[in-house]
Structure 1
Amino acid sequence: MLLTNFKPDRTGKKPLYLQIADFIKEQIRLGLVTPGMRLPSVRDLSAALHLSRTTTETCYSRLTAEGYLVSKPQSGYFVADLQVPKQLPRKLPSGSTRPAARYDFANNYVDGTAFPSIIWRRHIGQALKEKAALTGYGEPQGEPALREALADYSHRARGVVCAADQIVISAGVQSLFVILAALLQDRLFHTAPQIAWERPGFPQGEEIFRRQGWDIARFDTETLDTVQARLLYVSPSNPYKGRSLTPDLRRRLLRWTLERDGYILEDDYNGEFRYFTTPVSSLQGMGDGEHIVYLGSFSRLLFPSLRISYMVLPPGLLPDYRRIGRLYNQTSSTIEQLALASFIREGNLRRHVKKLRRLYRRKADLLQQALARHFGSRVQILAYESGLHMRISVDSPWDPQEAARRAEAAGVRVLPVPGGQDVPSSRSGNRFRTEILLSFAGISETDIAPAVARLATAWK
C-alpha cells in the first residue's frame, strides 16, 4: 500500500483520521491492496505520516468497524476479505489479440540457450534448505547475504562504491522508482516536484514518476546546462542510443550534482555489455558518493522472470529511506535472493556475463552484416557499441511508426525510436531517414539473416 503518497490536508474541515480512512478505502477499491494484506503498524504509520497514534488508531478502528479491516491480536491490522459479486462476466476483455510475429527485433527477453540452468537449480535447491526463508516475509531492504554479494559484485564489475547497508532490493526497477518518488519528493521539494528525464529514455519509469505527482522535464545530455530541476534520470548505456556517455559528459554530470546540490538516478541498464572496449565504470563510482542513486537489474544478465533489481542509496538518504521503507514489504522472492547471493559468490555471474558478451557480440556482427548485404547504402548504423540494441537509420518513404507497421505485416517486429517530436526523422522530399531500434538479444543467430531479408522487402 502506497501510504507514503498520502498527503494530509491539515487546513481542511475533514478530520485527519477520516482523510486517511478514505484514502485506504480508495486503495482497496482500486485493487491496489488485496485481502489478507497486512497494513503498517499504528506506530510505523504515525511516524511516517507525522501523525499522532490516536489519529491512526481511530482511523484503523473505524475501518475495522466498517468491515474493511480485520484486527488480529499481537499481529496487527489486515485487509478484510470483502464480498465480491457472485456472478462474473462469462468472458473478460482480452488484453491483446495481436498475433506473434515470426521474427522479433522488438523483444525484451534474452537468449535462454546461454543460461546455466543446471547450476542455477543447484543454488535454488540450497536456498530451499533455509527453512527460515520459507516462513517469513523476508527482510524489507533485501536479504543481507545478497546485499553483501551485490556490494562486492557491483564494485568489481561496475566500479560502484558502497556498503551493503546502502543497497535496497526489490522486484524490478519500477517498484524502486515508486519508493524513490516518495523519498526524494520530501527530501528535495516543498512544492511540486520535478525530475529532468533523459530523452529518449525509459517511458515506463517516466510514467511512474508522473503518476506520483512529479512534473517531467525532458532534456538532452548535450544541453545539460539548461536543466533547472534538482533531480536527473540518465541511463549511461541508453538502449535507444546504442552508445555510452562520453567521458566529457560524465564529468559534466558529476559537476552538475555539485553545482546544483542535486541528485542523479543512474539507471545502469545493460551497462556490462560493451563490445569494442572494456565496460566504463559507473557514474556512482566516479562521484563523491553523496549525489547519485545507482540502479541495477538482472532482467537481461540472467532472465526477465527473475524479479530482482536493486538500488544503491547515498548515505545521506538512508535516514529518509528508513523512515518510509518500513511501509513496504519486500516484493522479491527470498528464495531467489538467497540463490542469487550464492550464485554471485561462487563466481557464476561473472563467468555468465563474460559468455554473454561473446554471444551478443556475434549477434551484433551478424546483424550488421545482414543489414549491409540487404540494404547497402540505404541503411546507416547509428550505434551499437554497447547494450543489446542496434539503432539504425533507413532511407524509406515512411516515418518510423509506418515503417514498423509494414515490418510487422511482413512478420518482423521492430521498435520505432520513441519520443515523437523529441526524436524526429529527417526528411528529404518524399523520403525519410527513418530511425528504428533492433533488439538482438532474444532472436536466435540463425534467424537474424532471414529477418533482415524480410525487412528489406517490406521497406522497398
Structure 2
Amino acid sequence: MESRGDLALYEYLYRCIRHDIAHGKVEPGQKLPSKRTLAKQLGVSLITIEAAYDQLVAEGYIRSRERCGYYACDLAPAAQIEEPRSARHRAETETSANRRREDHASNPNGPQPISQNEERLERRAEYRPSDADFTPPLNSLAPHAQNTPSDAPLLADFTHSTLATTMLPYSAWAKAVRRTLSDESAASLAEAASAAGSPELRSAIADHLRQYRGMNVSPDQVVIGAGSQTLYQLLVQLVGRTRRYAVEDPGYPLLTRMYEQQDAQVAHIGLDDSGIDIDALEASGASVAHIMPSHQFPTGIVTTAARRRELLNWAREGDRYLIEDDYDSEFRMAGRPIPSLFGIDAAERVLYLNSFAKSLGAAFRMAYLVLPPQLAQRFRKQLGFYANTVSPLDQLALARFIEQGHYDRHVNRLRTHARKTQDALVNALHEAFGDRIAFAGLNDGLHFIMQLESERGERELATAAEAAGIRIAPLSSFAGTASLSGAPTGTEPQANTASETSPARFILRSDSTSIEESPAVANALANAWT
C-alpha cells in the first residue's frame, strides 16, 4: 500500500488486481476473495473494495455471479497487446487524471441496473451482401416523427437536450473571445485556418486527453473539424473509400448514411454483452470498424477488456483500422472513466474521435480526431491542402477556455447535474411504475435504458407518450439489418416485432429534464401507459 502515492485507495487496489489479471497472475475463471474477506485482509473499508470490484466489473476484467462471488475473465494473450508507452509514463498521466476526477469517483455506487443477461440482444448478426445496400428508414433518425401530433404541452423530450448550452458559463466564454480578439496575431488566425486546425487548440486537446484519458498524444496527431460529420468524410478520404466499413447494430443511423454517401460499403454487425460481435466482424470482410467501446449508443454496452483485446488483435491482422467513437466518456458518473482503446493500442491501428457537442452544445460544431502517427503524416501529405472548417476565432477562444480550466469546471458541473437528475428521474419512475420497470446503463453516460413490462409494442407506447407530452425513443428504432427482433440480416426491422416478444425498451437522457420536473414526467408517462 505504501507505493500507491497520490492514488485513491480504491484506484490503487483496482490497478493492482487489473495488472494481475492482465498478466496472468490471476488465472481466467479464478475466484477472487469476497469483498468482506479482502477488506479484512487489507485492513480497508468494505466501500473501498466495492469501488475497486465495481470498476473491474465495468471494464470486463472480472464478472460477478449472484451469490457465488467474483471471478477473473478470460482475456486475449497479453503478449499480443503490448503497452504503447512506458509504465512510468502511464502512471504519471493516470495519477494526474485521477486528481481531476476525485469528485467523479466519490460515489462509485449507483442504482442497481438490470443484469447483463437481461440486456442481451436476441440475435448476433451475420454479414450478407445486402448489408451494404441497406439504408435505415427516415423514422429511425427521429423515432418520434411518426407519432400522432398532440395539443399536450411538451413535458420532456428525451430525444434532445439543450442543457450544455444553457449551463455554459457565457461570461467566461465571452472573456476568452475578447482576449483572443485583442491578443492574437494575424499569423495565429492564419495557422488556425490550416487543414488540421489551430496549433493552440490541438495542443490544449492533447493536454486534456493526457490528463483526463491517460492518452499520450502529440498535437501533430490532432485534427479539428466542424462537427463529427465533417470528420467522417475526412476519415473516408484518408483511410480509403474502397474499403468496407463495419458499424454497430443497433447503432447511430447517421453513420450508415454518411459512409454510403462517400461510396463506401457498409456492414452492420450485431452486439452481444461484451460489445461488437467479433466473429461476425471477422466474417463481414470489413477492414474498418467504427465502434463506441466506452458507452455504445444506443444500448449502453461497455466493451469488455477481453473483447477490446480481441478487437486490437483483429486490427493487427492485415490493413485494418478501428475508429473509436468516444462521444460521451467525460460523462461517466461512477468510478473511473473506461480506459480508451487508443491508449492501449501498440500497433497504431486505432483512430480516436470525439466531439464538443455533448459538453458545449451542438451550436459550437467542433469535433476532433486523433490519428496514429503514420496516418497523421498521410493526412498532412494528402489532405493538407484543405482549409479548416472551424472559425479560427472559435478555435483560439476554445483553446483559452480549456487552458484556463473553464472547460473542466463546466463538464464537472454538467456531470454532477446529470447524475442528480438521473437519480431523481429513476426514483420517480420506480414510484410511478413499481416492479414493471428496470434500468440498464445507469451512471455510464448521458443516456440509459428503461425496460418496461407491457403487452403493447414500443411504437404504440411511444405514440401514447407523445400524446401525453413526452417524447421518447424506442430502442428498436435504432436497429438496422441486425435487428433487435432477430430478423434476418439484410432485411428491414419490423416496427413492433421486438416489443411484441420481449419487454419494451426506451432510451432516456439524463440531461433532458430537471429534478423538479421528474415526478410530473414519471406520473404522466405512467398514466399514458396504463
SS in 2 for 1:294: strand
Q: CA deviation at 1:135?
A: 7.7
Say whether residues 1:354 and 2:424 are aligned partners.
no
Q: CA RMSD in A?
A: 2.6
Stretch moving more, 436-445 or 174-183: 436-445
Stretch moving more, 324-333 or 399-408: 324-333
Q: CA deviation at 1:304?
A: 1.7
Distance verdict in 2 for CA 1:429–1:272, change over 3 Å: closer
Q: CA deviation at 1:428?
A: 11
Contact 2:149 / 2:467 at 8 angstroms: preserved in 1? no
Q: Tell me which of 320, 341, 348 is aligned to 2:378.
A: 320
Q: Distance in 1 between matches of 2:306 and 2:460?
A: 37
Task: Give CA deviations for 1:87-138 in whole Å, capped at 9, x if unaligned.
Answer: xxxxxxxx99978833211114324453222111110111122352668982
Q: Tell me which of 237, 241, 246 is aligned to 1:182.
A: 237
Equivalence for 2:523? 453
Contact 1:239 / 1:388 at 8 angstroms: preserved in 2? no
Contact 2:210 / 2:216 at 8 angstroms: preserved in 1? yes
Equivalence for 2:170? 117
Say whether residues 1:162 and 2:162 are aligned partners.
no
Say whether residues 1:216 and 2:276 are aligned partners.
no
Contact 1:389 / 1:440 at 8 angstroms: preserved in 2? yes
Distance verdict in 2 for CA 1:144–1:289, change over 3 Å: farther
Equivalence for 1:419? 479
Say whether residues 1:241 and 2:299 are aligned partners.
yes
Equivalence for 1:264? 322
Q: State how 1:203-352 maps to structure 2 within 5 Å.
A: 203-219=253-269, 220=271, 221-227=275-281, 228-236=285-293, 237-288=295-346, 290-352=348-410
Task: Give CA deviations for 1:321-373 in whole Å, capped at 9, x if unaligned.
Answer: 22442353211121111111011111222222222221111111112101111
Amino acid at match of 1:120: W
Contact 1:176 / 1:310 at 8 angstroms: preserved in 2? yes
Equivalence for 2:451? 393
Task: Give CA deviations for 1:154-187 in whole Å, capped at 9, x if unaligned.
Answer: 121112222111111001011000011111116x
Q: CA deviation at 1:429?
A: 11
Q: Tell me which of 143, 149, 152 is aligned to 2:198.
A: 143
Distance verdict in 2 for CA 1:234–1:410, change over 3 Å: same
Amino acid at match of 1:104: D
Equivalence for 1:77? none
Amino acid at match of 1:254: L
Amino acid at match of 2:464: R
SS in 1 for 2:159: coil
Q: Distance in 2 between matches of 1:379 and 1:109?
A: 27
Contact 1:414 / 1:437 at 8 angstroms: preserved in 2? yes
Q: CA deviation at 1:206?
A: 2.1
SS in 1 for 2:386: coil
Amino acid at match of 1:384: L
Say whether residues 1:374 and 2:435 are aligned partners.
no
Q: Distance in 2 between matches of 1:403 and 1:429?
A: 10
Contact 1:194 / 1:215 at 8 angstroms: preserved in 2? yes
User: Taking structure 2 as the reference length, what is the TM-score of the superposition?
Assistant: 0.64
Say whether residues 1:172 and 2:201 are aligned partners.
no
Q: Distance in 2 between matches of 1:136 and 1:150?
A: 16
Q: Tell me which of 394, 419, 442 is aligned to 2:512.
A: 442
Stretch moving more, 397-406 or 174-183: 397-406
Q: Distance in 1 between matches of 2:479 and 2:441?
A: 18
Amino acid at match of 2:467: A
Q: What is the total number of aligned residue pairs between the two structures?
A: 361
Equivalence for 1:198? 248
Stretch moving more, 436-445 or 303-312: 436-445
SS in 1 for 2:358: coil
Q: Distance in 2 between matches of 1:110 and 1:400?
A: 27
Q: Distance in 2 between matches of 1:124 and 1:337?
A: 10
Stretch moving more, 128-137 or 147-156: 128-137
Higher relative CO (CA 8 A, sep ≥ 6), structure 1 or 2? 2
Contact 1:193 / 1:213 at 8 angstroms: preserved in 2? no
Q: Distance in 1 between matches of 2:470 and 2:247?
A: 30
SS in 1 for 2:388: coil
Task: Give CA deviations for 1:24-82 in whole Å, capped at 9, x if unaligned.
Answer: xxxxxxxxxxxxxxxxxxxxxxxxxxxxxxxxxxxxxxxxxxxxxxxxxxxxxxxxxxx
Q: CA deviation at 1:243?
A: 4.3
**Unaligned residue ranges in structure 1 (runs of 5+):** 1-94, 187-191
SS in 2 for 1:455: helix
Stretch moving more, 206-215 or 240-249: 240-249
Contact 1:254 / 1:287 at 8 angstroms: preserved in 2? yes
SS in 2 for 1:437: strand
Q: Distance in 2 between matches of 1:284 and 1:160?
A: 7
Contact 1:230 / 1:262 at 8 angstroms: preserved in 2? yes
Q: Distance in 1 between matches of 2:443 and 2:510?
A: 13
Amino acid at match of 2:485: P
Distance verdict in 2 for CA 1:385–1:122, change over 3 Å: same
Stretch moving more, 148-157 or 131-140: 131-140
Amino acid at match of 2:236: A
Distance verdict in 2 for CA 1:175–1:290, change over 3 Å: same
